[in-house]
Chains A and B, each alone.
Chain A
Amino acid sequence: VRLSLTTLLVVLGSAAPALAAGVSAELNRDETTRDDGVILTVTLEGSGPEEPLLPSLPDFEAHARGQSTQVQIVNGKVSSTVSHTYLLAPKRLGTFVIPPVQARIGGRLYQSKPLTLRVVEGAAPAGTSDRAVFITAEVSDKQPFVGEQVLYTFRFYRRVQVSRYAPRLPAFDGFVAEQLGETKEYNTTNEGQRYVVTESKVALFPLEARSLELAGATVTAEVAKTSGRDAGGPFDDFFGRVPTESRLLRSEPVKMTVRPLPAAPDGFSGVVGRYTLGAELSKASLAAGESATLTVELRGEGDVRQLAAPKLTLPPSFKVYDEKPELRRELAGNKLGGSAIFRQALVAAEAGEFVFPPIRLVYFDPDAEKFATVESQPLMLSVRPGAGESLNAAGAERAFAKTEVQQLADDILPIHTTTQGLWSRPARHGFVGLTLAALLLPPAGFVLLAAWARRRESRERDQEAERRRTALGRAKKSIEKAEQALTKSQLEDAIALASRALREFLGDKLGVSGLALTADDVRSRLHERGADAGLVMRVYEETHRLEAAQYGGEAGIAGHNLTSKLIELKGMLKELDAQL
């Protein structure tokens, strides 16, 4: 149902009483003819109306034509009036009772009163020139043969403004129906009046011999009024609005008699129409084992879907492989036709000269009202011996011609008799846990290991720093011991203590074992550490001198000389401590 008009009427503070809920139905006339429809208006009053439920109307065709709504708000209470309009087209004459229409409003079921309508025979149709709108339906042949193509033409004429045009063609029971092209629209003159015509055509193919009546086509439309008191006032023209009325148009039924086909001759293909036939081979000559394509084309008027591949009688040495037929449907004037192309691959197994009999199609021509036959020319094919055969002919040793291995049948491979160990689901879950552990624990272990290594390296660095920081103090104590030994005239002990003090100092400062250092080691390492060159030379000489005195017994260092040397050594170590 289309909403044709919705009017919102708001009455605020009005003293008008609220509408009572209910359903009413009315017809725009009590008596009508079979060719005219009546308008049934169902009005629902009250808040919360639902779609009305039309009763069963077997004697009418009902067409919904829209609805309109009015809403009222009275003292804050909302109520509405919804009108549904239907066009009823009578199917037969007589007096009919239209049962009550039911609808739910605000959750409660209401129903209208029953209505009575009388349908009488209409007056003889006026000349078409007297009518603003009318429809026609006709067939090209009222006595066709079974399978013959019949053209059904439907036309809708109008010379006034029309909207919401909805045609309905009959069901065409007992026919194969095919729409022919698009719906056309054109202008024409009928009995001196200009009309706009909408035309559609349908190709019908009767399925069985019988007498029948094609029901009339119908059209429902909103048609502009051209006379009467509603025929448009000045305000309608001003607003561009033209008053319309719902109309039901119906064409006359068409009586037809479908005739059976005469007794069919042998080889009748079953098709009706008019056809031509063409056949050709893709090759006139080929070697045994090769293939040629036979193409048969049937073309003409009729239902080409009924065409089957014509039978071809071939020698037994030929193998035939059918390809998928190609159907083309075409519209030639007012007739539906087309072509059907059948292709077959012919494989010759033996050499020889072959003449194929003509390919024949027997069909029924409805225009001539007799059976007709079309046939191709005889087809000739020359098959040469294949490679293997020619070798035989030459008397040569037979060669083993290679042939493609063809699969003769297919089947599944056998069952397996071994297992994967029949793992259970819990075992799989355990495996998942182990995999997770193997993925997550190693990185965690690595982090712990890295932290431990860093801590150990840090501690080692701290110990070396402490050793460097306290090196001078320890060296001074050793030198003081050397001085004490000197006061006791223990010269050798004093020299050993002084040498040890110097080496241990250097070892602490350089981060190595000092007692293993030679004078040359001392010089090179101090250079590397960027100590002052003069100071390095002095340390080198002093180291060398103390080595010589300690291990060589050099007399160059006497007691009083050693005392001053120890003082110098203290100063030198202090200087070196400042630089390292």
Chain B
Amino acid sequence: MILLAIFSMAASLDGGTSAATLAANHDTSFALANHAMSRGAFSEAAEGYEAIASSGVLDGHVFYNLGNAYLRSSQLGKAIASYRAALRLLPRDEDVRANLAFARKQIKDALAPPEPSPIVRTLFMWHFALSAGELGATAALASLCFWACLALLRLGRGGATVRLGGVVCGVVLVCTAPSWAWRTIAPERVGVVVLPEAQAHAAQDQAAVVRFVLHEGAEARLLSVDGDWVRIQLPDGQQGWIAASAIAVVES
């Protein structure tokens, strides 16, 4: 209920009637794009989903469908970037994971995607199993409960139940609040190659030495963006500059 209230309050910040109108427009666009997918008009569907996404909508299902539309249109790189964006918003969605795995099978480069190790995923499972919104809501709720328990104890009105509740809420708060802050303030960024081939140069110059070549769909950790160039790093530590037009940047 509290989460619902927070979500409702957050949604209301958008502004009453205009938000409702926008949502209705998005619903219509979403339905039209879905219809285009069912007709096999994949490029048209991709444009529809892209329009919703570019209007500022952050909905995992839109990005998932966009990934499907791109994959059907043989745009492997954009499909993988869209699935990654969907996974960030729907971290436990099996469909997204399955389609991302399917798309990755078609990549030409034998390159492992930049993912944390299984040990890290297990130790910090909440970080990978919850979306940023879920982490924020959990942290907010835990914070309210933890400090309420502490206040009751301070006023001498808390028993063993309040003390136990305080400890549980404190642990949840310590786990989720830094995780939410990390995901919100400094998310890790990944570059996905969206052109058939992308050359990684030694410097931000087309004439610079080509250190290696990546092919469409290859994913690499993005270190920095400098104008029309992005600096990427492969799992083996190799780095190079790739033209920004050849890369789709996705927050991980």
Contacts and interface: CB of A to CB of B under 8 A. Distances in A.
Interface of A: 410-435, 438-439, 442-443, 445-446, 449-450, 453
B6 A422 contact: no
17 contacts: A412-B98, A413-B98, A415-B37, A420-B89, A422-B30, A424-B56, A426-B14, A427-B13, A431-B6, A432-B136, A432-B184, A435-B6, A438-B143, A442-B148, A443-B143, A449-B151, A449-B155
A450 B144 CA distance: 16
Given A434-B9, A449-B154, A413 B27 contact: no
B15 to A, nearest CB: 8
Contacts of B180: 435
B79 to A, nearest CB: 9
B168 to A, nearest CB: 16
A434 B150 CA distance: 21
Contacts of A442: 143-144, 146-148
Nearest to A437: B140
A415 B133 contact: no
Contacts of A432: 136, 184
Nearest to B83: A412
Contacts of B137: 435
Given A419-B30, A423-B58, A412 B14 contact: no
Contacts of B136: 431-432, 435
Looking at A414, A428, A450, the one whose CB has the most chain B CB atoms below 10 A away is A428
Interface stretch (B64-72, B188-196, B228-236): B64-72
Q: What is the interface residue range for chain B against chain A?
A: 35 or more
Contacts of A450: 154
Interface in B57-109: 57-62, 64-65, 68-69, 71-72, 89-90, 95, 98-99, 102-103, 105
Given A427-B13, A430-B13, A446 B57 contact: no
B139 A416 contact: no
A439 B6 CA distance: 13
A412 B68 contact: yes
Interface stretch (B18-26, B110-118, B197-205): B18-26
A418 B143 CA distance: 32
B10 A424 contact: no
B147 to A, nearest CB: 3
A423 B184 CA distance: 16
Contacts of A429: 13
A446 B147 contact: yes
A415 B70 CA distance: 12
B171 interface: no
A445 B147 contact: yes
Contact of A417 (B34, B69, B148, B150): B34
Contacts, number: 127
A416 B58 contact: no
Contacts of A417: 34
B167 to A, nearest CB: 16
Given A419-B61, A435-B139, 18 more contacts: A413-B95, A413-B99, A419-B26, A419-B27, A420-B59, A421-B11, A422-B23, A422-B26, A423-B11, A423-B133, A425-B56, A426-B13, A427-B13, A438-B6, A438-B139, A445-B147, A449-B154, A449-B155
Contact of B19 (A427, A435, A443, A453): A427
A439 B137 CA distance: 10
Contacts of B95: 413, 416
A430 B140 CA distance: 14
Interface of B: 6-7, 9-11, 13-14, 19, 22-23, 26-27, 30, 34, 37, 52, 55-62, 64-65, 68-69, 71-72, 89-90, 95, 98-99, 102-103, 105, 133, 136-137, 139-141, 143-144, 146-148, 150-151, 154-155, 177, 180, 184
Nearest to A428: B58
Given A435-B180, A442-B148, A422 B59 contact: yes
A71 B139 CA distance: 74
Contacts of B60: 420
B14 A431 contact: no
A412 B67 CA distance: 10
Nearest to B27: A422
A431 B131 CA distance: 13
A430 B10 contact: yes
Given A416-B65, A431-B136, A424 B148 contact: no
A453 B152 CA distance: 11
Contacts of B103: 412
Contacts of B57: 422-425
A228 to B, nearest CB: 47
B152 to A, nearest CB: 10
A439 B34 contact: no
Nearest to B102: A412
B48 to A, nearest CB: 11
Give the interface centre of B9, B58, B68, B99 by most chain A CB atoms within 10 Å: B58
B99 A416 contact: no
A443 B60 CA distance: 33
A435 B11 contact: no
Contacts of B34: 415, 417
A206 B221 CA distance: 48
Contacts of B56: 424-426
Contact of A424 (B19, B27, B146): B19
Contacts of A438: 6, 139-141, 143-144
A424 B143 contact: no
A450 B133 CA distance: 31
Q: Which 8 A-B pairs have the closest CB atoms?
A: A430-B13, A438-B140, A442-B147, A431-B10, A425-B56, A435-B136, A416-B61, A415-B65
A412 B146 CA distance: 44
A26 to B, nearest CB: 37
